[in-house]
């Protein structure tokens, strides 16, 4: 009996012991992983202490800011003023290294332009774009072989020959349709405001698609939209101060699909786990369908181009023609079969549209809002244009494509520069450190995402005072390269093109791109690839808009300056009130 009673006790001992030790091991493991997973600050760089006490770091505060304001980056840059430091860190992604935030133009310029061996395309940016276009070079590190290969595919596209002979034709042709659309709307609106952002969005889509793949003017969104309006009933006249509502335009399936697919980037931009979030979105039926329609459209465009290659009929009308004809020539020279339908070609062509559409459209949308307020800048620009194109003025016609592209007008350059400065689509450039390095005297571990902000101190308010001893050697050497406007917050936020003008030796006004800090396109080898195309597009569109229309002030009810972060920073509301400009 005693034996019987003893049995289980003897038996239970090891079980209990192993159970206890298992619990202890698990607890230690969990504790260690918890400690490992907790935010780990980089020594010396200011941060919010309370954020390091939770697995989620700064995320709850960021989320609450985002739900209140629909924006993220103002919160990010605000941390520099909270800690009164040009360099801070925030814990924005769970289980990851902190983000390092810099708000100082000299240091940012130095990192982007000169410290390219220590800083490369950021893991943040790669995370945002990989789901959508894994084979576009925006997702590659500069050291990868395929980066050079892809850039080689695109190498003609920012040359003066391509820009002046191919891109400018597509931009100008589509812009003529845009002027016709707004001519019609201006006539019907009779001084009432109407919504402008969708028209600009569609016209910019026409332009970039035409430049990438070719597009007949009659098939453009803008031309189809005008046809629809002409055959529809005219909208009724609203009462004083109310905007007029035109029939909503529905894009053809291909354009609609491209815009849906591009819009998906908003999801990966905002999610704490971007790759996963985008993957989940891609499983949704509407997204699958949009991706399929987009793929089909590109296959059709590429097939048509291949036919032109086989017939030797080079039209020189798009990036696609350029890429395929060059591939055909290279293949012939190397005695191999040409590769026309590679993933690289699909993704780079679509990448051209992803990177070039929303950006230019949104910059132009902010511009029409600014122009309505900056009446003086608007009329100054118009009078500069009237005297710069005397023949067009005398004949009361639009300036030609050649006149716009070739005439040097410093005030126009200044307005274009001011457009992207004030639109501030992105609040900065992002880089990831490729080695252990230092910024402003602080150690930055390899693999840290560094955010170089352009929406705070140094850009929109007075810069932080930084001791020269903290700066890098290359930054010290470049000390007076970029000017600094009087650090008056009101002025730094205002739309004032004159800030970009200086008096030349002959007393004439000249445009100076280094008059003050400007980071809208990033800088250096991984700065915006399409910058020259963007300037060309803004030049042609702006000239045609100002030449044809006077932008009047809009009624207060439709003049909100609130913004919303989508892929970039958009105005939440954009209406224009136009009058045909007089000669």
**Single residue of 61, 123, 206, 550 touching ligand NAG by CB under 6 A:** 61
Binding mask 561-580 toward ligand NAG (x if CB under 6 A, else -) reads --x-x--xx-----------
Quote the CA–CA distance of 194 and 179 in Å, as a whole number. 15
Quote the CA–CA distance of 145 and 341 in Å, as a whole number. 20
Candidates 3-11, 46-54, 212-220, 484-492; binding stretch for ligand NAG (CB under 6 A): 46-54
What is the crossing angle of helices 285-311 and 319-334, to 10°?
Answer: 60
Name the residue among 151, 259, 261, 206 with its Cα closest to residue 537: 206
Quickly list H helices, 440-509. Answer: 473-477, 489-493
**Single residue of 221, 359, 433, 475 touching ligand HEM by CB under 6 A:** 359
**Residue 346 binds what, of ligand HEM, ligand NAG, none (CB under 5 to 8 Å, by partner type)?**
none
* Touching ligand NAG, residues 265-294 (CB under 6 A): none
- Tokens 């035109």 correspond to 246
**Residue 86 binds what, of ligand HEM, ligand NAG, none (CB under 5 to 8 Å, by partner type)?**
none
**Residue 526 binds what, of ligand HEM, ligand NAG, none (CB under 5 to 8 Å, by partner type)?**
ligand HEM
Query: Which run of H or E residues covers position 290?
Result: helix 285-311
Quote the CA–CA distance of 574 and 24 in Å, as a whole number. 61
**Single residue of 111, 138, 293, 444 touching ligand HEM by CB under 6 A:** 138
Q: Which is nearer to ligand HEM, 41 or 525 (CB)?
A: 525
360 binds ligand HEM per the rule CB under 6 A:
yes
Quote the CA–CA distance of 244 and 235 in Å, as a whole number. 7
88, 97 contact by CB (below 8 A): no
Quote the CA–CA distance of 250 and 224 in Å, as a whole number. 10
| Cβ-proximal residues to 322 (8 Å cutoff; 6+ apart), any chain | 156, 157, 162, 166, 316
210 binds ligand HEM per the rule CB under 6 A:
no
355 binds ligand HEM per the rule CB under 6 A:
yes
Quote the CA–CA distance of 154 and 9 in Å, as a whole number. 78
Instruction: Flag whether 574 is marked binding.
Output: no
Query: Could you tell me the two tokens for 268?
Result: 């990966």
51 binds ligand NAG per the rule CB under 6 A:
yes
**Single residue of 82, 148, 289, 397 touching ligand NAG by CB under 6 A:** 82
Query: Which run of H or E residues covers position 167?
Result: none
Residues in a beta bridge with 444: 437
- How near is the Cβ of 110 to ligand NAG at its closest, in Å? 22
526 binds ligand HEM per the rule CB under 6 A:
yes
- Tokens 């105005």 correspond to 571
- How near is the Cβ of 520 to ligand NAG at its closest, in Å? 11
Quote the CA–CA distance of 69 and 270 in Å, as a whole number. 14
Q: Which is nearer to ligand HEM, 420 or 434 (CB)?
A: 420
363 binds ligand HEM per the rule CB under 6 A:
yes
- Buried (b) or exposed (e) across 433-458, using 16+ Cβ within 10 A? bbeebebbebebeeebbbbbbbbbbb
Binding mask 436-465 toward ligand NAG (x if CB under 6 A, else -) reads -------------------x----------
Query: Count of residues binding ligand NAG (CB under 6 A)?
Result: 21
Q: What are phi and psi of 160, to 5 degrees?
A: -55, -35
Instruction: Please compute Rg for the chain using Cα positions.
Output: 28
Q: What are phi and psi of 573, to 5 degrees?
A: -145, 130
**Residue 360 binds what, of ligand HEM, ligand NAG, none (CB under 5 to 8 Å, by partner type)?**
ligand HEM
**Residue 174 binds what, of ligand HEM, ligand NAG, none (CB under 5 to 8 Å, by partner type)?**
none
Candidates 4-12, 301-309, 395-403, 420-428; binding stretch for ligand HEM (CB under 6 A): 420-428
**Residue 534 binds what, of ligand NAG, ligand HEM, none (CB under 5 to 8 Å, by partner type)?**
ligand HEM
- Tokens 């985008």 correspond to 278
Query: Count of residues binding ligand HEM (CB under 6 A)?
Result: 25
Query: Could you tell me the two tokens for 310?
Result: 């086989």
Binding residues for heme: 528
Q: Please report, as ranges, the residues that interact with ligand NAG according to CB under 6 A.
A: 48, 50-51, 61, 71-74, 77, 82, 314-316, 424, 426-427, 455, 563, 565, 568-569
Binding residues: 528
Q: Please report, as ranges, the residues that interact with ligand HEM according to CB under 6 A.
A: 112, 121, 137-138, 351-352, 355-356, 359-360, 363, 420, 425-426, 429, 520-522, 526-530, 533-534
């Amino acid at each position: 009996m005693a034996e019987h009673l003893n049995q289980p006790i003897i038996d239970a001992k090891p079980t209990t012991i192993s159970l206890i030790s298992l619990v202890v091991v698990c607890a230690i493991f969990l504790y260690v992983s918890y400690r490992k997973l907790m935010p780990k600050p980089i020594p010396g760089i200011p941060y919010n202490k309370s954020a390091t006490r939770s697995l989620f770091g700064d995320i709850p505060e960021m989320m609450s800011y985002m739900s209140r304001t629909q924006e993220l980056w103002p919160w990010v840059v605000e941390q520099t003023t909270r800690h009164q430091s040009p360099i801070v860190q925030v814990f924005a992604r769970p289980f990851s290294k902190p983000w390092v935030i810099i708000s100082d133009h000299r240091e940012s310029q130095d990192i982007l332009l000169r410290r390219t061996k220590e800083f490369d395309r950021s893991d943040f940016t790669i995370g945002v774009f990989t789901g959508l276009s894994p084979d576009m070079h925006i997702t590659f590190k500069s050291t990868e072989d395929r980066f050079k290969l892809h850039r080689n595919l695109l190498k003609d596209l920012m040359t003066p020959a391509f820009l002046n002979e191919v891109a400018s034709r597509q931009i100008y042709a589509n812009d003529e349709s845009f002027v016709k659309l707004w001519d019609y709307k201006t006539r019907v609106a009779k001084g009432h405001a109407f919504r402008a952002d969708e028209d600009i969005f569609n016209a910019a889509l026409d332009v970039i698609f035409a430049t990438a793949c070719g597009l007949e003017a009659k098939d453009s969104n803008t031309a189809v939209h005008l046809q629809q309006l002409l055959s529809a009933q005219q909208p009724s006249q609203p009462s004083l101060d109310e905007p007029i509502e035109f029939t909503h335009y529905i894009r053809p399936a291909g354009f609609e699909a491209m815009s849906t697919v591009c819009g998906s980037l908003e999801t990966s931009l905002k999610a704490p786990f971007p790759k996963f979030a985008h993957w989940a979105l891609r499983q949704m039926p509407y997204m699958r369908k949009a991706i399929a329609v987009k793929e089909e459209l590109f296959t059709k465009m590429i097939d048509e181009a291949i036919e032109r290659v086989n017939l030797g009929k080079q039209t020189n009308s798009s990036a696609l023609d350029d890429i395929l004809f060059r591939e055909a020539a290279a293949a012939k020279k190397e005695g191999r079969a040409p590769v026309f339908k590679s993933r690289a070609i699909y993704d780079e062509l679509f990448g051209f549209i992803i990177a070039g559409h929303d950006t230019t459209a949104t910059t132009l949308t902010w511009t029409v809002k600014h122009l309505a307020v900056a009446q003086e800048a608007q009329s100054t620009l118009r009078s500069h244009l009237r005297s710069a194109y005397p023949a067009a003025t005398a004949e009361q016609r639009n300036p030609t494509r050649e006149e716009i592209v070739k005439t040097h007008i410093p005030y126009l350059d200044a307005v274009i520069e001011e457009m992207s400065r004030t639109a501030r689509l992105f609040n900065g450039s992002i880089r990831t450190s490729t080695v252990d390095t230092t910024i402003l005297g602080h150690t930055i571990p390899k693999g840290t995402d560094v955010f170089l902000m352009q929406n705070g101190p140094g850009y929109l308010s007075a810069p932080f005072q930084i001791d020269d001893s903290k700066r890098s050697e290359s930054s010290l050497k470049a000390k007076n390269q970029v000017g600094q406007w009087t650090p008056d917050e009101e002025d730094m936020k205002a739309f004032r093109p004159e800030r970009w003008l200086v008096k030349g030796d002959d007393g004439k006004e000249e445009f100076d791109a280094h008059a003050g800090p400007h980071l809208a396109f990033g800088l250096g080898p991984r700065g915006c690839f399409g910058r020259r195309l963007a300037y060309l597009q803004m030049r042609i569109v702006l000239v045609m808009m100002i030449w044809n229309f006077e932008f009047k002030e809009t009624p207060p009810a439709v003049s909100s300056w609130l913004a919303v972060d989508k892929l970039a920073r958009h105005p939440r509301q954009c209406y224009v009130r136009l009058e045909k400009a007089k000669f």
